[in-house]
A = this chain, B = another copy of it.
Amino acid sequence: MKRTSRDIRTANRYEVLRQIIAGSPVSRQELAAATGLSLATVATLVGELLDLRMITEVGFEDSAGGRPRGLVAVDASGGALVGVDIAETYVHVELFDLALNVLARAEEEVRPGESRPERVVGQVAAAVGSVVARAGIGADRVLGVGVSVPGQVDRDTGVAAYAPNLDWHGVPLLDLLAEHLAQPLYLDNPLRACTVAELWFGAARGRGDAVVVNLGTGVGAGLALGGGLHRGVSNSAGEWGHTTLVLDGRPCHCGNHGCVETYVGAPGIMQNIRELDPGSALLHPADQTATVDALARAVAAGDPVALKVVRETARYLGAGISDLVNLLNPQVVVLSSWVASRLGEPLLDEVRAAVARHALRRPLAATEIVLSPIPTDPVSLGAATFALEGALQGAGQRSRATAARGRAVAGAPPA
């Protein structure tokens, strides 16, 4: 809970770099105005980022009557970041420059029964090697590798504590990866990766408080409060999917009943279809993706059952999102992940209407509900952002000490 001066410097460094990424080229004066920091503080932080070669001086702009102002911009060639998205059926790896443009992608398939940690780690290492080679970048210019793995993770120790769909229990993932990769490594889960991606590059950027609602097979709500990720005391905040929407309702795999996830996760949506039209042609019983795709196509074609399913799903989702609005009073609620992106605007419209019926007037008036604007895989982007944050956390030190920062430092608890 204690914000130390170092935590605060780190948070300010994030904010300054975020503004530079958003607005390159930009002057120190503009950065001071945008961040609320003093010009002296901005100048110090910009100096650290220049030392780190993350940004570069790119010329001057005239200021009315005064001295020309120096402009800085992200140094896209100043380093690279890797984001790794380990999912149940694939390993997806992206290499980014420091403006978070994708330089190269690689994907490896994880087949059922082939998710042994050593095997997956080998796939990750091969994919990382491949993207680095294809981008023609020296491995020493990769500032860090961020890894997302589903379920509960212990980021300080780099352990995947519990990933049921991979059948992983207490896997020391970063230790295993460190046998293959020399870069600083960072671990977290997809919910927090998507949230950080929205915070840096998406709909939560510059917003005071934001909630990122992830709609996939599982469901969660990443909380970006006060400009930073709210992790909770044991890094497990955001389990909105397992909050009660219907006391004594549908059974959930968590052991509880009536969880939000059982109504609005992909299997929950399949159940909604079954309840409205048991023999529906929309249903592909063993295939969530095919079902959601069929639903999206049927909605586009104006199919009345499909419209009813979306309306009913939105009724549940709207009630659950209203709870988040009433409890947290966020400035924006972002609908993210594959179910949200496939159902898109029709779902969004119904959700907005349902929230308007449920939420209290005052927080409702302050909240906007949007679809995620991130065009690429937000999990890889967010994982790479963890590596970016890790690199920034060491700034200021780095210019004074040449020792490479290892994972022990990278995993230090944040503000």
Number of interface residues of A (CB under 8 A): 66
**What is the chain B residue whose CB lies nearest that of A320?**
B244
> Whose C-beta in chain B lies nearest to the C-beta of A238?
B327
Q: Known A232-B329, A329-B234; judge A246-B243 contact (CB<8 A).
A: no
The answer, among B1, B152, B323, B331, for a CB contact under 8 Å with A207, is B1
**Chain B residues with CB below 8 A from A360, complex form:** 236, 239, 242, 254
A38 at the interface (CB under 8 A from B): yes
Among B4, B225, B245, B328, contact of A36 (Cβ-Cβ < 8 Å): B4
* Docked-complex contact B362 and A226, CB < 8 angstroms: no
Flag the segment in A7-15, A59-67, A106-114 that touches B.
A7-15
Which residues of B sit under 8 angstroms from A161, Cβ to Cβ? Answer: 362
B239 touches A363 (CB 8 A): yes
Cα A41 to Cα B322 with chains together (Å)? 42
Interface string of A239-282 (1 = CB under 8 A from B): 11011111101000010100000000000000000000000000
CB distance from A136 to the nearest CB of B (A): 38
Q: 15 new A-B pairs (CB below 8 Å) besides A234-B366, A238-B329, A243-B323?
A: A1-B227, A2-B15, A3-B11, A3-B36, A208-B233, A226-B228, A233-B329, A234-B362, A235-B329, A236-B362, A237-B363, A242-B360, A246-B247, A247-B249, A327-B327
Cβ contacts A to B, 27 pairs, < 8 Å: A1-B209, A1-B227, A2-B227, A3-B11, A3-B36, A4-B35, A5-B37, A161-B362, A207-B233, A209-B230, A209-B232, A209-B237, A223-B327, A226-B230, A232-B329, A233-B367, A234-B329, A234-B362, A234-B366, A235-B329, A236-B360, A236-B366, A237-B329, A239-B360, A243-B323, A244-B245, A244-B323
Q: 5 closest A-B pairs (Cβ-Cβ)?
A: A232-B329, A243-B323, A237-B329, A239-B326, A1-B227
